[in-house]
């Protein structure tokens, strides 16, 4: 609407500058008013984050110690749910791509806030789900906290420096997101005065991080698990296929936590039950598809020796991201063998899906971890007193499209218990336990 007026004034430099300045002012005012209106913010609430780069450690300062194939870590891949931005200011730290600062926008500057570090080891889309869940729950519970989110990229000196800075700053809580971060905490931060809650991490009992599911660790760490206890998974698999003969376990050799918490326990339990369990590990994560094209047919051939129809055989897809990302490849070469995943996210809409998953949906795991965090922050519990947080009963997801494609069946009670169901067209008909209109 300004174009005729601007054309009229095109020969007047002064007029141009005045007009542009007025336009910029109007846009700024409009943005602030719109933001206040949308978020129902009061006039004294902080509208921007002033971030001083000197207040945050930078991965580049540890480049000389770099021991990773992926280069310097960053958070360019990291994504938060849109709802988060309604209640939180999110800002990047200048010239520090591995760090984000998140502050509540519903309180004024002078309100005392908790200080929380979220430590992540690598790129993973599920981490965005976990962190978004945490931020949303903190808002729901009206706990004002300043969050620093860091991808330390498994660079040990960088991670150690972050933990040392946490001590110096006397922060209130650390969330270790991912099994690698949790292992790093276990090795380098156990016994600290600062409490830690694990999130998006594998079974701490099987990893030897704590002794019991029913008792607290007695340390500064409260544990949660993305996996049900292995005995629970065993029970579900035997109910799924009472005459189960063969299990082909697909995993990544370098994913040590998956090997310890899923591969080795399954081989042990299967052996005790007289079930064949074979390991098929991907060696090079970057070549996962090529390796699976070879491994999956080998597994099918092996299982057919004792189960010609493959009716009593399954693929167990572990929580190794390089493997489950190739679910389309597994389906293509796996024939009618039922694919069972330990992560619900591997069962999804369309054809690129496992038949079934038995595990814990990331949002539910993050709910548990965050509730532990809020109890600790509010002084309602000590981390060492909290038992291992487990989603029980486990989340079940079913793709009826893949079920029909493989000619398999499932018990009716699996259908009743399922949190996620995808119909014969591959469309969502149940999500988070709620029916979805199609």
Three-class secondary structure of residue 298 per DSSP: helix
**In a domain? residue 412:** yes
**In a domain? residue 370:** yes
pLDDT exceeds cutoff 50 at 34: no
pLDDT exceeds cutoff 90 at 63: no
Do 200 and 348 sit in the same domain of this protein? no
pLDDT at 3: 38
Domain that holds residue 14: 3-39
Q: What is the pLDDT of residues 166-216, one digit of tens each?
A: 999 999 999 999 999 999 999 999 999 999 999 999 999 999 999 999 999
pLDDT at 368: 97
CB 280 within 8 A of CB 305: no
Do 154 and 84 sit in the same domain of this protein? yes
pLDDT exceeds cutoff 50 at 17: no
Alpha carbon 12 to its chain centroid, in Å, reads 56
Do 244 and 384 sit in the same domain of this protein? no
Of the candidates 255, 270, 66, the one whose C-alpha atom is nearest the C-alpha of residue 159 is 66
- Residues near 138 by beta carbon (within 8 Å), at least 6 away in sequence: 104, 145, 370, 374
CA separation for the pair 172, 219 (Å, rounded):
16
pLDDT at 48: 64
Do 215 and 174 sit in the same domain of this protein? yes
CB 192 within 8 A of CB 165: no
CA dist 30 → 26, 33, 262, 413 (Å): 6, 5, 54, 55
User: What are the tokens at 355?
Assistant: 């038949």
**In a domain? residue 114:** yes
Do 379 and 349 sit in the same domain of this protein? no
Do 270 and 419 sit in the same domain of this protein? yes
pLDDT exceeds cutoff 70 at 20: no
- Over residues 131-137, the mean pLDDT reads 98
The tally of domains found in the chain comes to: 3
CA dist 177 → 9, 124, 129, 411 (Å): 57, 10, 11, 34
Do 217 and 318 sit in the same domain of this protein? no
Output DSSP code: residue 367. Answer: H
CA separation for the pair 230, 236 (Å, rounded):
10
pLDDT at 30: 32
What stretch of H or E contains 304?
Answer: helix 288-304
Do 85 and 12 sit in the same domain of this protein? no
CA separation for the pair 104, 70 (Å, rounded):
32
What stretch of H or E contains 159?
Answer: helix 156-169
pLDDT at 230: 83
pLDDT exceeds cutoff 50 at 265: yes
CA separation for the pair 157, 172 (Å, rounded):
22
pLDDT-derived band at 31, boundaries 50, 70, 90:
very low
**In a domain? residue 46:** no
- Over residues 358-376, the mean pLDDT reads 96
pLDDT at 65: 56
**In a domain? residue 48:** no
Do 333 and 380 sit in the same domain of this protein? no
76, 82, 86, 90 alpha-carbon torsion, rounded to 10°: -10
Alpha carbon 429 to its chain centroid, in Å, reads 23
Do 91 and 105 sit in the same domain of this protein? yes
Do 356 and 385 sit in the same domain of this protein? no
Output phi, psi for 329, to 5 deg.
Answer: -65, -45
Do 211 and 310 sit in the same domain of this protein? no
Q: What is the pLDDT of residues 280-289, one digit of tens each?
A: 999 999 999 9
- Sheet strands (E) in 81-220: 88-93, 96-104, 114-120, 145-151, 173-177, 196-199
pLDDT exceeds cutoff 80 at 15: no
**In a domain? residue 374:** yes
Q: What is the pLDDT of residues 303-349, one digit of tens each?
A: 999 999 999 999 999 988 899 999 999 999 999 999 999 988 899 99
pLDDT at 345: 86
CATH number of the domain that residue 312 is part of: 3.40.50.2300
Place of tokens 């697909």: 250
pLDDT exceeds cutoff 90 at 125: no
pLDDT-derived band at 47, boundaries 50, 70, 90:
very low
CB 394 within 8 A of CB 382: no
pLDDT-derived band at 32, boundaries 50, 70, 90:
very low
């Amino acid at each position: 609407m300004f174009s005729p007026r601007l054309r009229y004034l095109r020969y007047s430099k002064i007029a141009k500058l005045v007009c542009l300045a007025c336009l910029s002012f109007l846009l700024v005012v409009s943005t602030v008013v719109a933001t206040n209106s949308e978020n129902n913010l009061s006039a004294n609430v902080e509208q921007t984050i002033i971030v001083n780069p000197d207040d945050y450690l930078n991965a580049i300062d540890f480049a000389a110690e770099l021991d990773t194939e992926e280069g310097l870590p960053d958070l360019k891949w990291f994504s938060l749910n849109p709802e988060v931005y309604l209640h939180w200011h999110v800002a990047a730290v200048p010239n520090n791509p591995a760090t984000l600062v998140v502050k509540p926008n519903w309180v004024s500057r002078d309100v005392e806030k908790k200080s929380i570090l979220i430590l992540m080891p690598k790129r993973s889309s599920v981490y965005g789900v976990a962190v978004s869940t945490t931020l949303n729950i903190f808002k729901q519970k009206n706990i004002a906290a300043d969050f620093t989110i860091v991808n330390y990229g498994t660079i040990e000196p960088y991670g150690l420096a972050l933990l040392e800075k946490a001590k110096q700053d006397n922060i209130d809580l650390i969330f270790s997101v991912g099994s690698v971060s949790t292992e790093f905490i276990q090795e380098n931060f156990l016994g600290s005065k600062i409490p830690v809650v694990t999130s998006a991490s594998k079974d701490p009992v099987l990893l030897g991080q704590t002794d019991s599911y029913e008792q607290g660790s007695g340390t500064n760490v409260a544990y949660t698990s993305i996996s049900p206890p292995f005995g629970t998974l065993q029970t579900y698999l035997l109910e799924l296929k009472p005459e189960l003969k063969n299990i082909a376990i697909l995993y990544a050799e370098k994913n040590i936590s998956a090997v310890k918490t899923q591969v080795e326990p399954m081989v042990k339990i299967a052996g005790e039950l007289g079930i064949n369990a074979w390991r098929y590990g991907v060696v090079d994560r970057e070549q996962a598809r090529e390796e699976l094209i070879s491994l999956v047919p080998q597994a099918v051939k092996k299982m057919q020796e004792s189960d010609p129809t493959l009716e009593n055989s399954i693929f167990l897809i572990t929580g190794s991201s390089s493997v489950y990302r190739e679910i389309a490849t597994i389906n293509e070469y796996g024939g009618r063998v039922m694919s069972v995943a330990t992560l619900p996210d591997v069962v999804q809409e369309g054809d690129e899906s496992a038949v079934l998953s038995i595990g814990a949906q990331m949002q539910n795991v993050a709910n548990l971890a965050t509730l532990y965090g809020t109890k600790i922050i509010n002084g309602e519990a000590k981390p060492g007193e909290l038992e291992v947080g487990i989603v029980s009963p486990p989340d079940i997801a079913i793709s009826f499209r893949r079920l029909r494609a493989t000619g398999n069946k499932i018990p009716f009670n699996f259908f009743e218990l399922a949190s996620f169901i995808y119909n014969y067209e591959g469309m969502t008909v149940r999500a988070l336990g709620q029916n979805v209109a199609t």
